[in-house]
Amino acid sequence: MRLILLLCIFLSGCSSTAVPIVMKFPDAPPSLMTPAADLNKLPADKKIEMSDIIQTTNANSKLYYELKIKYEAWQEWYKEQKSIADQLK
């Protein structure tokens, strides 16, 4: 009886081994890592006409829509990567 008890104590003595396995942090898509550009201003060295204002607005809205695409892509990237990482738990 004492031997069986001793056996149980010894056999359960090594059950606290921790195994650290780390999943690589996911890369970000390269196109999302480019810095955001400043908005375009009207040139100070020429006579400004209405067409210049519309051109500049058009160029600025292009920058906005590019950033909108990247912003939405970051959200999608996060959601997807989180759902993948959650599967490891």
- Token representation of residue 31: 């196109």
Q: Which of 1, 13, 35, 45 binds other proteins (CB under 8 A)?
A: 13
Contact 81, 26 (CB under 8 A): yes
Q: How far apart are CA 24 and CA 85, in angstroms?
A: 10
Q: Does 37 bind other proteins (CB under 8 A)?
A: no
**What count of residues does the chain have?**
89
Q: Where do contacts with other proteins occur on this chain (CB under 8 A)?
A: 3, 6-7, 10-15, 17, 19, 21, 23-24, 26-32, 38-42, 48-56, 58-62, 65-66, 69-70, 73, 76-77, 80-81, 84-85, 87-88
